[in-house]
Amino acid sequence: MFVGTTGVQRTVQRTAELMKQHGTDDIWQYGGIPLSVIQKYLNFQFSVSMDLFGSETSSNVANYYTSGLKGRWMETRRKDDHLLHDLTMDVPIIENGRMGSKNVPMLTALNLDLRNEYAADCENGVKRWNQELEDAGLEERLFLPHQGFNRKVGTFAGHHVTPTGELVDEATWEKSVGEYLPTAEDRQRVAELMVPHYEPGEFAGWISPPSVGINSLPVEYDYVRF
């Protein structure tokens, strides 16, 4: 998580520099990735990561936990009895076109418990990226989309939820999806920026140099020689 977070942070830092320098979010022509496009990629990566945790409730996860094959994040720091037989947890549901929740045995909701811990970790990363925008004097901010956005697994599968958590119909979704997720044009323009730079201390125009080099060596150090 740390490696990915710092890499995106350097990208956001460069985007913020170019936005402040040129007074616009449309920084393709200056070799940067617009903040609105970074948000689209954030929406996509977060939503597909949510699907990796599986359904919110699962009898399999309960069996794995009680068999000692699976534990919760920071299990030893939890203040319960670690058996969970009498504990419950609220899980999201969609009924009659509305979002709600229902209370289920915690043993069956451990996928959601882990997903929530992951989302909290992601939120910390976004805070770091937003600090770069704040330090640059910009008002724009990145945000994590709603956990129901663009989901293919679990409660939200088959429903259309916007990044801000609104349930919409299919026609509205199709009309607006290009504002939420990277389009083919977005991906092409990002790919066009991915050109190699070989000189020590030289970096692509869409990312800022690291604050310090590997093993505290200078950033421009000649790390690799052929």
What is the number of domains present in the chain? 1
Strand partners, 179: none
Mean pLDDT of 66-88: 94
Which residue has 């094959």 as its token pair? 69
Kindly state the percentage of the chain with pLDDT values over 70. 98
CATH of the domain at 128: 1.10.620.20
224 domain-assigned: no
> What would the two tokens of residue 49 be?
């990561």
Alpha-carbon distance of 119 to 51, in angstroms, equals 12
The whole domain housing 99 covers: 2-216
Alpha-carbon distance of 79 to 75, in angstroms, equals 9
221 domain-assigned: no
pTM of the model: 0.91
- pLDDT digit string, tens, across residues 1-40: 666 789 999 999 999 999 999 999 999 999 999 999 999 9
Q: What is the DSSP string of 113-125?
A: HHHHHHHHHHHHH
114 domain-assigned: yes
Residue 103's φ and ψ, nearest 5 degrees, are -95, 125
Q: How far is CA 64 from CA 15, 61, 211, in A?
A: 44, 5, 43
8 domain-assigned: yes
| pLDDT category of residue 217 using cuts at 50, 70 and 90 | confident
Over its C-alpha atoms, the chain yields an Rg (Å, rounded) of: 21
226 domain-assigned: no
